């Protein structure tokens, strides 16, 4: 469980381990919402690390094909420089 303490400012908002009171590091965003008749909801976005194996793809929506994502082979910038995603 976590405990969120806040004075209403970003710098004054802390997310704590409820068991021992230690601050949880890596929190990027805290979002609160509350609907009538329902308990308050807090959504936390945090940075984490992951180890993965596999090939990645750089995809861009093609406006000429209904916005369908397509793999990018390279990007040419207006100044003539190029970016080629690693394979």
Query: Along the 87 residues of the chain, how does pLDDT read in single tens digits?
Result: 899 999 989 889 999 999 999 999 999 999 989 999 998 899 999 888 888 787 778 888 989 988 899 988 999 999 999 988 777
Which residue in this structure is represented by tokens 């004075």? 7
Please report the beta strands in the chain, taking only residues with DSSP state E, as ranges in sequence order: 2-6, 13-17, 27-33, 41-46, 59-62, 68-71, 75-76, 82-83
Pair of tokens at residue 30: 């805290």
Q: How many residues does the chain have?
A: 87
What global pTM score does this model have?
0.51
């Amino acid at each position: 469980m976590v405990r969120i303490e806040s004075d209403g400012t970003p710098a004054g908002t802390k997310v704590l381990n409820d068991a021992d009171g230690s601050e949880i590091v890596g929190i990027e965003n805290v979002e609160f919402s509350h609907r009538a008749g329902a308990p308050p909801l807090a959504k936390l976005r945090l940075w984490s690390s992951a180890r993965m194996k596999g090939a990645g793809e750089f995809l861009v929506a093609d406006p000429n094909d209904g916005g369908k994502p397509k793999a990018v082979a390279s990007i040419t910038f207006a100044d003539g420089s190029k970016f080629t995603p690693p394979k």
